[in-house]
Structure 1
Amino acid sequence: MFNWEGVSEFVSVAETESFTQAAKRLGISTAQVSRQVSALETRLATKLFHRTTRKVSVTEAGQIYFQHCRQVLDGLDEAERAITNLQSTPRGRLKITAPVTYGERTLAPLINDFIAKYPELDVKLNLTNLKVDMIDEGYDLAIRLGQLEDSSMMAKKLGKRTHYVCAAPDYLSTYGIPHSLSELDQHNCLLGTLDYWRFQEGGKTRSIRVSGSLSCNSGRALVDAAVKAIGITQLPDYYVLPYLENGKLVSILEQHRPSDDGIWAIYPQNRHLSPKVRMLIDHLTEELK
């Protein structure tokens, strides 16, 4: 067990280069500071200060010990701030970015619930499918979907999403139901921004290049085309689940459904996450379970 006696006194003397000034800073007597430092030197069997009648200077060993002690005390200060902030009420500006459709359908209502609970917040929510520069544009939080790129940002997983390959019953009755991945090249595949779909085969992820009469960067447009029996599409759950439930779309190739991927909260690296960001992340994590 670490013995803390004398550490605060030692650090104060090292920073002020004065036993008297250290005593004033700590609100104790100079004699008490001197006793604690002397006891610390005895315990360490090391001389920490050069003392003269005019000057106090740190020894080489004292410098090494000071660096370590300063880090420890800074950590304790930060821990205390973290606990204090835990009890704080979120307030002030909170700037967030998220993808458009997922933001509209899922995130915005949850964020609105959070605002209703903490009305002192001033939230700026930017829904865009473009990757913003969080640092340059001053964002506190970004919501990202799918596979994360390498980044200097911190990330916390909020939940997961499932991808479905689906088509309208009329399309399947006309062109048949594909039962294997190799049959996809015989079908009209409605594409998003990528020209391939991901699947699971033999316990491994496999990317299959597909093609069709429509490619569009809007999931809503692809859902509409699929419902109108134009072709087959692969989209996340929040686009297609209502249509799967009402029978306007049918899920196919379920044995090859890819593994679920993540819904992530991304935020800049900080020594301590602000209460408003941390509490919003906790709120989203709980609601997205």
Structure 2
Amino acid sequence: MMNWEGVSEFVAVVETQSFTAAAQRLGISVAQVSRQVSQLEQRLAARLLYRTTRKVSVTEAGQLYYQHCRPLLDGLREAEQAVSQAQDRPSGHLRVTAPVYYGERVVAPLLHRYLQEQPAVTAELNLDNRKVDLVAEGFDLGIRLGPMDASSLMVRQLGSRTHHVCASPAYLAQFGAPHTLAELKHHQCLTGTVSTWRFREADGHTREVHVGGRLRCNSGAALVDAALVGIGMVQLPDYYVDAHLASGRLCSLLGAYTLVDGIWANYPRNRFVPLKVQGFIDLLETTL
């Protein structure tokens, strides 16, 4: 009979390359992870990992063992999901990741609603603007925005977002409004992490335009504030600016070139999608 003790801990260490990160993924202490892996090595009479104060690396024996253990854990997870799928309602722990601002404004309120509707579900929401590796970091679901790259994950479109170029009435009174993309070079364009804005041409193709201005900031909320006080123009998705457009504090520009792209659910490719995941995706799609 196979002894499963230490297997999950070992696989988590290999995939995160850290005892600390493995402990965080599994929700246990670092000491417990280390102890379980050490006992596993003793049972196998083989060193699986090289440990130093700075890094963890996998031995040849460890790589071989990992290649056999990963499918076993996947199979066990699918067995659990199959049983869960047979239940009448979603249950279990749901781990979700999403971009920071969109997660705060949109995903978190819907997750709170889902928890109210499904008392057998517990959840963890991780807000991070980097592209999180769902499988390696143990997430059930990732919410992603914009163009989608080729992926081995399952992808489902939840909705769309509209990118508005906006400026305050005070800015427009002083500098005027651009009517073509070429005119943007004469304006104060407030940028985020990149110095290009994306637009939709009349033929449907996407065009990138290099822009620049007096302020660059990696916070969309801060760029909105700068636009509101007249420092320059911004291009941001609707969930940043809709309220200000409705109140008249910002004006939408270059409507003929407005870009619309997607809001997506990404989740690991399994034969059984757990009800806890499927139920939350359904809520997101219905609402968005």
TM-score by length of 2: 0.69
- Indicate whether 1:98 and 2:98 are aligned: yes
Distance in 2 (CA, whole Å) between partners of 1:265 and 1:114 is 16
| Identity percentage of aligned residues | 51
Corresponding position of 2:182: 182
Distance in 1 (CA, whole Å) between partners of 2:156 and 2:121 is 22
Judging changes above 3 Å, is the alpha-carbon distance between structure 1 residues 251 and 122 closer, same or farther for their aligned structure 2 residues? same
Distance in 1 (CA, whole Å) between partners of 2:274 and 2:118 is 15
Greater shift, 194-203 or 234-243, is seen at 194-203
- Indicate whether 1:217 and 2:215 are aligned: no
Deviation at 1:87, TM superposition (A): 5.3
- Indicate whether 1:89 and 2:79 are aligned: no
Would you say the 8 A contact 2:145–2:264 is kept in 1? yes
Specify the SS of the correspondent of 1:261: strand
Specify the SS of the correspondent of 1:189: coil
Specify the SS of the correspondent of 1:190: coil
Equivalent pairs, count = 208
Specify the SS of the correspondent of 1:147: coil
Corresponding position of 1:232: 233
In the TM superposition, what whole-angstrom CA distance separates every residue of 1:5-51 from its partner, at most 9, and x where no partner exists? xxxxxxxxxxxxxxxxxxxxxxxxxxxxxxxxxxxxxxxxxxxxxxx
Stretches of structure 1 lacking an aligned partner (at least 5 in a row): 1-77
In the TM superposition, what whole-angstrom CA distance separates every residue of 1:124-161 from its partner, at most 9, and x where no partner exists? 11111122221121100000000112211111000100
Distance in 2 (CA, whole Å) between partners of 1:98 and 1:200 is 25
Corresponding position of 2:169: 169
Would you say the 8 A contact 2:188–2:213 is kept in 1? yes
Corresponding position of 1:156: 156
Specify the SS of the correspondent of 1:235: strand
Corresponding position of 2:9: none
Distance in 1 (CA, whole Å) between partners of 2:202 and 2:137 is 44
Provide runs of 4+ in structure 1 moved above 6 Å: 81-84
Stretches of structure 2 lacking an aligned partner (at least 5 in a row): 1-77
Distance in 2 (CA, whole Å) between partners of 1:83 and 1:137 is 23
Judging changes above 3 Å, is the alpha-carbon distance between structure 1 residues 139 and 87 closer, same or farther for their aligned structure 2 residues? same
Residue identity matched to 2:224: V
Residue identity matched to 1:219: G
Would you say the 8 A contact 2:84–2:275 is kept in 1? no
Judging changes above 3 Å, is the alpha-carbon distance between structure 1 residues 172 and 86 closer, same or farther for their aligned structure 2 residues? farther
Corresponding position of 1:22: none
Distance in 2 (CA, whole Å) between partners of 1:169 and 1:137 is 46
Matches within 5 A, 1:130-145: 130-145=130-145
TM-score by length of 1: 0.69
Would you say the 8 A contact 1:86–1:275 is kept in 2? no
Distance in 2 (CA, whole Å) between partners of 1:262 and 1:278 is 19
Would you say the 8 A contact 2:156–2:264 is kept in 1? yes
Would you say the 8 A contact 1:134–1:140 is kept in 2? yes
Specify the SS of the correspondent of 1:162: strand
Distance in 2 (CA, whole Å) between partners of 1:244 and 1:287 is 22
Specify the SS of the correspondent of 2:88: coil
Corresponding position of 1:147: 147
Would you say the 8 A contact 2:84–2:90 is kept in 1? no
Corresponding position of 2:60: none
Deviation at 1:107, TM superposition (A): 1.1
Distance in 2 (CA, whole Å) between partners of 1:151 and 1:224 is 36
